């Protein structure tokens, strides 16, 4: 199976490339390097011992997609390419809708024209907004609270509409998985790839890691009076390699049922919630470094707590996260301590 990995140079995409190669798939990566660099892909080759084609282009560029689908026989697409910073999306909604929504439309148009029917889309637990209760199942209502989340809701709607339209066609075309990630953390156990954000990180673990290596003075904990056991926000953190393996399982499932079609949605989470302060203590234990922090105002739109019910993925995909909190922390620390400057050595 040849899989096009859009956004394959990024954090989750690069780990998915490793999981795909190690489960015997061929890959082609498409990335515009707007939030990543080629070095991550060189490291993927180093880890796997496999070289693969890398196309530096944009998913919004239809001519580039035509060239790619003409040059390579693609069987399925994993679509990671997109922008992901909630705060930035509130400042630049047009940029986010262009990149995340229009980019996906362009990709789907090209897939249709080249007869590529299998798509795995990176969605997010952010589509659930503030859930009425926890754990969250896939049938909870979706109502995003910011343009980033809204872009995921919109793409999900488009993908459902494609499958809806298939019901009217003589032969249904689309075979789609929507994967709603909870909070990806950690790094490949080799320490060769990991999360390497540009500028001040938006996510908790990269922020903690940069405090640990002395690049940032202290961690700002957004909100200390949520209705949670220690007052800080609670999230479902999932190891990025578990997440990557979930993608391979979803691909197996879609391609197992070659004759079928449709749009399936699966939560990828662990089912456990940890508070910010629990994450800080776990990281201190794994790294042996103190993480000074201060509690500051909560961010508008942030929710108190959320964690997944991952049982649908377990029963339908045979997938379950296996890596625990300490493994997430140790792998993050190995990546950060071996690469204090990320991929720019
Ligand atoms: N990291 C998270 O916490 C998280 C949570 C839920 C969902 N997601 C989604 O997962 C996907 C991957 O996230 P990530 O954390 O790996 O982000 P990332 O920024 O590390 O990776 C995204 C990659 O896509 C590339 N890219 C962006 N726009 C592109 C375009 N128009 N054409 C080609 N390449 C483009 C970037 O250069 C980058 O390499 C995103 O769609 C994101 O919204 C991420």
Whether 265 shows a pLDDT value over 70: the answer reads yes
Residues 329-345, mean pLDDT to the nearest whole number: 92
- The reply to whether ligand 1 has any atom less than 6 angstroms from the CB of 12 is yes
Three-state secondary-structure class, residue 179: strand
User: Residue 114 C-alpha to ligand 1 middle, in angstroms?
Assistant: 24
Q: What is the pTM of this model?
A: 0.97
* Distance between Cα 65 and ligand 1 center (Å): 18
Using the mean position of ligand 1's atoms as its centre, give its distance from the Cα of residue 230 in Å.
31
Residue 82 in contact with ligand 1 by CB distance below 6 A: yes
Determine which residue's CA is closest to atom 9 belonging to ligand 1. Answer: 122
> What is the percent of the chain with per-residue pLDDT over 90, rounded to a whole number?
89
Residue having the nearest C-alpha atom to atom 2 of ligand 1 = 184
Give residue 212 CA to ligand 1 midpoint distance, Å.
25
Q: If you search the block for the tokens 């197996």, which residue do you land on?
A: 252
Ligand 1 site, residue 36, Cβ cutoff 6 A:
yes
pLDDT at 345: 63
Count Cβ atoms within 10 A of the Cβ of residue 61 and give its class: 0-12 exposed, 13-18 middle, 19 or more buried.
middle
Residue 161, pLDDT above cutoff 80: yes
Q: What is the pLDDT of residue 21?
A: 98
120 Cβ partners below 8 Å, 6+ apart? 76, 77, 78, 79, 176, 177, 179, 247, 250, 251, 254
Query: Distance from the CA of 275 to the center of ligand 1, in angstroms?
Result: 25
User: Once rounded to an integer, what is the mean pLDDT over residues 117-124?
Assistant: 98
For residue 11, indicate whether it is catalytic. Answer: no
**Pocket lining: 228 vs ligand 1, CB cutoff 6 Å:** no
Closest CA to 317 of 242, 253, 268: 253
Residue 183's pLDDT is 97
DSSP symbols for 75-91: -EEEE--S---HHHHHH
Name which of 182, 210, 183 is nearest 196 in CA terms.
210
Instruction: For residue 314, name the pLDDT band (cuts at 50, 70, 90).
Output: very high
Greater confidence (202 vs 156) lies with: 156
Query: Annotated catalytic residue: which of 11, 96, 148, 226?
Result: 148
Hey, how many other C-beta atoms are within 10 angstroms of the C-beta on 255?
Answer: 14
What integer pLDDT is reported at residue 277 of this predicted model?
98
Phi then psi dihedrals of residue 201, to 5 deg = -65, 150
Residue-level pLDDT at 259: 63
Predicted confidence band of residue 294 (pLDDT cuts 50, 70, 90) = very high
Question: What is the chain's mean pLDDT, rounded?
Answer: 96
Mean predicted confidence (pLDDT) in 306-316? 98
Q: Whose alpha carbon is nearest atom 26 of ligand 1?
A: 81
Contact 196 CB / ligand 1 (< 6 Å): no
Report the share of the chain in percent with pLDDT over 70: 99
Mean pLDDT value across residues 14-39: 98
CA gap 12, 17 in Å, rounded:
9
pLDDT of residue 201: 87
In this prediction, residue 260 has a pLDDT band, given cuts at 50, 70 and 90, of confident
Better-scored residue on pLDDT, 171 or 294: 294
What is residue 229's predicted lDDT score, i.e. its pLDDT? Answer: 95
pLDDT tens readout for residues 211-259:
998 989 999 999 999 999 999 999 999 999 999 999 999 999 999 876 6
Find the helix or strand (DSSP H, E) in which 282 lies. helix 276-287
Residue 6 · residue 81 · CB < 8 Å: yes
Q: Which two tokens stand for residue 210?
A: 């940069």
Ligand 1 pocket member 307 (CB < 6 A): no
Return the minimum-mean-pLDDT range out of 42-51, 54-63, 106-115, 163-172.
163-172
> Contact 29/9 with Cβ under 8 angstroms?
yes
Residue burial 223-253, b: 16+ Cβ < 10 Å; e: rest: bbebebeebbbbbbbbbbbbbbbbbbbbbeb
CB of 8 closer than 6 A to ligand 1? no
Distance from the alpha carbon of residue 35 to the mean position of ligand 1, in angstroms: 8
What band does 23 get if pLDDT is binned at 50, 70 and 90? very high
Residue 301: pLDDT band by 50, 70, 90 thresholds? Answer: confident
CB of 178 closer than 6 angstroms to any ligand 1 atom: no
Ligand 1 atom nearest to CA at 99:
31
User: Is the pLDDT reported for residue 333 higher than 70?
Assistant: yes
Domains and CATH numbers, the chain: 2-338 (3.40.50.720)
Q: Strands 26-31, 54-56: parallel, antiparallel or unpaired by DSSP?
A: parallel
CB 111 within 8 A of CB 77: yes
């Amino acid at each position: 199976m040849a899989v096009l990995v859009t956004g394959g140079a990024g954090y989750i995409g690069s780990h998915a490339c490793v999981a795909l190669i190690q489960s015997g798939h061929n890959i082609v990566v498409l990335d515009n390097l707007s939030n990543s660099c080629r070095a991550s892909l060189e490291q993927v080759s180093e880890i796997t011992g496999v070289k693969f084609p890398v196309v530096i282009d944009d998913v919004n560029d239809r001519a580039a997609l035509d060239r790619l689908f003409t040059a390579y026989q693609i069987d399925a697409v994993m679509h990671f390419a997109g922008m992901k910073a909630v705060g930035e999306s509130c400042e630049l909604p047009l940029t986010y809708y262009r990149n995340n929504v229009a980019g996906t439309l362009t990709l789907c148009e090209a897939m249709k024209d080249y007869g590529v029917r299998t798509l795995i889309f990176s969605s997010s637990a952010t589509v659930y907004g503030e859930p009425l209760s926890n754990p969250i199942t896939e049938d909870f209502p979706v109502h995003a609270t910011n343009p980033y989340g809204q872009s995921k809701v919109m793409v999900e709607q488009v993908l459902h509409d494609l499958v809806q339209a298939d019901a009217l066609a003589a032969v249904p075309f689309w075979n789609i998985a929507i994967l709603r990630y909870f909070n990806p953390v950690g790094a490949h156990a080799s320490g060769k790839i990991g999360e390497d954000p540009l500028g001040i990180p938006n996510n908790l673990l990269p922020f903690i890691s940069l405090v640990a290596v002395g690049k940032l003075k202290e961690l700002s904990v957004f909100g200390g009076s949520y209705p949670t056991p220690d007052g800080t926000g609670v999230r479902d953190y999932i190891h990025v390699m578990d997440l990557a393996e979930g993608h391979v399982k979803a691909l197996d499932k879609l391609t197992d049922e070659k004759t079928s079609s449709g749009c399936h949605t699966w939560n990828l989470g662990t089912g456990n919630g940890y508070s910010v302060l629990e994450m800080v203590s776990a990281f201190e234990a794994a790294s042996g470094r103190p993480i000074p922090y201060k509690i500051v105002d909560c961010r508008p739109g942030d929710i108190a707590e959320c964690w997944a019910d991952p049982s649908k993925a377990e029963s339908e995909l045979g997938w379950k996260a296996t890596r625990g909190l300490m493994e997430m922390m140790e792998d993050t620390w190995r990546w950060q301590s071996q690469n204090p400057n990320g991929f720019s050595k």
